[in-house]
Amino acid sequence: MSKKMLTFMSKDKQQFTIEEEFAVQSVTIRNMVEEDCASSVIPLPNVHSETLTLVIEYLNKQASVAENDLKKFVDEKQISTLLDLAKAASYLDIKGLMDLACEKLADLIKDMTVEELREIFQIENDFTPEEEQALRAEFPWAFEV
Amino acid sequence: MVVGIREESSDSGSRDLMTQLVMMGCSFGGSRSRNTSPMARAIGSRNISPSRQKTVKTKPRGLDEEMIAKFPKTPHPDVRMEDDIWAMLPEDLLNEILARVPPFMIFRLRSVCKRWNSILQDNGFLKFHSQVPSHGPCLLTFCKNSQSQTPNCSVFSLPLKQWYRIPFTFLPQWAFWIVGSSGGLVCFSGLDGLTFRTLVCNPLTQKWRILPKMHNNQQRQLSMVVYRKQRSFKIIAANDLYGDKSLPTEVFDSNLGRWSLHQKMPAVNFCSSKMAFCDSRLYLETLSPLGLMMYQVDSGYWEHIPAKFPRSLLDGYLVAGTQKRLFLVGRVGLYSTLQSMRIWELDHSKPMWVEVTRMPPRFFRALLRLSAERFECFGQDNLILFTSWNQGKGLLYDVDKKQWSWIAGCGLRLHNSQVCFYEPRFDASIY
């Protein structure tokens, strides 16, 4: 008996197949399967093929690999990749992947200075110098490190 | 790599629900316009190579010299700033990431921008943050040599190997002893003139509160227990320190806001200061005779636990583990050459102390150079910590993993300090 396969199509029109039993870890996909909308190709216009490759790799690995090894999945990944993964995991509602990606991102963020964070997230500093000074003075110990 | 949403005509005639949602321009989880200036967008993709390994001074805008942007020790991988990626960072995704940042780091992140400042103070976010599994145990050290001295308090995060000198400026002069810490709250006690007082605080939120006086004004051994789910706490005053008369046990219930009187502890001559609370029971070690007393908080009654203590036990520390586990820790052996540090666990059914493990001799020798050297022992969640007063070292035993390890990176400043485990939580309420 052949396993039921699903087909995803990424934003850049690449197709990926995955066994349904692994795919339904995504609650979004699971709902589609239950409502019988998953028979033909499932378009995922929010997800680029590079990210989708990783998502599918995760879904396939998740069943067989131990938790500690699964954590390595997010090692050595660039911040942009991790953010894409987190967004895809949010879109597809895959809690495990979301947790992994967000944890890694939080881990990277915590070591950054305020200036670096603003650069990475392209955030404009909308505090006046006085306001920023006051805020830093409120928790001087947080900036000692 | 471009990730973003572009309008494009699809081959198939029908648009399913997901595509339609996407075309409406919202990514899953709400949309929010990002805090960017037009100039930032115009920059487009930027290449920040790891070769930029120098310190960059921020422009002098009337700020101190301390504001120097430094790149971290490990070079960041090439991050290409694609405008679109960041543009579509939904609010709830930002929340998910920020919620996983260790509590102490949150304060620094508040100064990134006004949006982050407001998110990180929002009660909903703080509650969410508190629900994320803890980052690992922390140690709180408190050093105050005399009434007049300002206390020196620091928190050490074991997993992050970092010290944080959280201010405790709100502490009144009389707060001299740490009673304990549980569920994010820390309890202090001290003598305010002649009155014995207690105080409860959450160091992270800097909220604090002095508790009402006890019925009997006596310096007592206190124990605090926090019921996280019920958002309440109790403080139990068992034996008095200069115990020639035995006083009724007093319990402060945060739900009632007052102390209540309960059964006196049955007559024992001396009690050690060793207590542990687990499974709604307070266990207390009595010295003369050497034994174990248990106080049931729910019923308000004391009971003697007839578990025989190991022979030649030199010191007996009681440590509570998870659920119902209770450990006894101490040195055995009168002669220094034959001494060993052992850990027993109480088998409640018998009741009997069953040996769990012994400290490997190399650790024992390293921790206590001299056999008579003082050490402290306390624990939480099946972690038992040994601290050596003179050397300022910390040795950790993980009961579940059966692992001994030195606490790295802390150079424990232990001389004259009180130390306890502390779990930083935003949601610990002092009421």
Residue B82 lies in a domain: no
Residue B389 lies in a domain: yes
In contact, A40 and A6? CB cutoff 8 Å? no
Q: How many CB atoms lie within 10 A of CB B372?
A: 9
Residue B148 lies in a domain: yes
> Rounded CA gap, B69 and B410, in Å?
25
Please indicate, yes or no, whether residues B143 and B119 belong to a single structural domain of this protein.
Answer: no
Contact B3 A43 (CB under 8 A): no
Residue B53 lies in a domain: no
Q: What was the pLDDT predicted at B43?
A: 34
Q: What was the pLDDT predicted at A47?
A: 87
Nearest alpha-carbon partner for B430 in B254, B228, B197: B254
Domain stops at, among B102, B131, B160: B131
Please indicate, yes or no, whether residues B291 and B244 belong to a single structural domain of this protein.
Answer: yes
Residue B234 lies in a domain: yes
The interface predicted TM-score of the complex, written ipTM, equals 0.87
The phi, psi pair for B137, rounded to 5°, reads: -70, 150
**Contact residues, chain B, for A98 at CB < 8 Å:** 96
Please indicate, yes or no, whether residues B357 and B386 belong to a single structural domain of this protein.
Answer: yes
Q: Which residues pair with B140 in a beta bridge?
A: B155, B420
Please indicate, yes or no, whether residues B206 and B109 belong to a single structural domain of this protein.
Answer: no
Residue B32 lies in a domain: no
Please indicate, yes or no, whether residues B287 and B377 belong to a single structural domain of this protein.
Answer: yes
In contact, B82 and B1? CB cutoff 8 Å? yes
Find, in chain A, the residue whose alpha carbon is nearest to that of B7.
A45
Domain that holds residue B110: 89-131
Whether B122 has a pLDDT exceeding 70, the answer reads yes
Please indicate, yes or no, whether residues B147 and B107 belong to a single structural domain of this protein.
Answer: no
Q: Which of B75-79, B110-114, B127-131, B233-237 has the lowest mean pLDDT?
A: B75-79
Please indicate, yes or no, whether residues B291 and B415 belong to a single structural domain of this protein.
Answer: yes
Number of domains in chain B: 2
Please indicate, yes or no, whether residues B105 and B143 belong to a single structural domain of this protein.
Answer: no
Q: How many CB atoms lie within 10 A of CB A92?
A: 24
- Closest partner residue to B111 (CB to CB) among A48, A121, A132 is A132
Please indicate, yes or no, whether residues B247 and B391 belong to a single structural domain of this protein.
Answer: yes
Q: What is the DSSP letter of B426?
A: S
Q: Give residue B241's pLDDT band: very low, low, confident or very high (50, 70, 90).
A: low
Q: Please report the number of interchain residue pairs, chain A to chain B, with beta-carbon separation below 8 angstroms.
A: 161
Tokens matching residue B2: 């471009």
The strand pair at B232-240 and B248-253 is best described as: antiparallel
Shortest alpha-carbon distance between residue A62 and chain B (Å): 21
In contact, A87 and B88? CB cutoff 8 Å? yes
Residue matched to tokens 């930083």:
B424
> Rounded CA gap, B349 and B372, in Å?
35
The 10s digit of each residue's pLDDT in B13-70 is 334 444 443 333 333 333 333 333 333 333 333 333 444 334 444 444 433 333 223 3
- Using DSSP's 3-state secondary structure scheme, residue A88 falls into helix
- Closest partner residue to B77 (CB to CB) among A78, A129, A141 is A78
Domain stops at, among B104, B131, B158: B131
Residue B279 lies in a domain: yes
Handedness of CA B423, B427, B430, B431 (dihedral sign): negative
The strand pair at A15-19 and B152-157 is best described as: unpaired
Instruction: Output the domain CATH number for residue B297.
Output: 2.120.10.80
Q: What was the pLDDT predicted at B391?
A: 66
CA A130-B119-A76 angle, to 5 degrees, is 100
> Rounded CA gap, B12 and B28, in Å?
23
Please indicate, yes or no, whether residues B118 and B147 belong to a single structural domain of this protein.
Answer: no
- Closest partner residue to B40 (CB to CB) among A114, A122, A145 is A122
CA B228-B232-B237 angle, to 5 degrees, is 115
> Rounded CA gap, B1 and B16, in Å?
26
In contact, B184 and B425? CB cutoff 8 Å? yes
Higher pLDDT, B70 or B219: B219
Q: What was the pLDDT predicted at B82?
A: 43
> Rounded CA gap, B100 and A105, in Å?
9
The 10s digit of each residue's pLDDT in A6-63 is 888 888 888 888 888 888 888 988 888 888 877 778 888 888 888 899 998 888 888 7
User: Which domains are present in chain A?
Assistant: 5-110 (3.30.710.10)
Whether B7 has a pLDDT exceeding 70, the answer reads no
- Closest partner residue to A110 (CB to CB) among B70, B93, B105 is B105
Q: What was the pLDDT predicted at B370?
A: 63
Domain stops at, among B74, B107, B131: B131
Find, in chain B, the residue whose alpha carbon is nearest to that of A84.
B85
Residue B402 lies in a domain: yes
Mean pLDDT of chain B: 76
Q: Which residues contact A47 (CB under 8 A, 6 or more apart)?
A: A10, A11, A55, A84, A88, A91, A92
Mean pLDDT of B201-217: 90
Please indicate, yes or no, whether residues B150 and B122 belong to a single structural domain of this protein.
Answer: no
Please indicate, yes or no, whether residues B167 and B115 belong to a single structural domain of this protein.
Answer: no
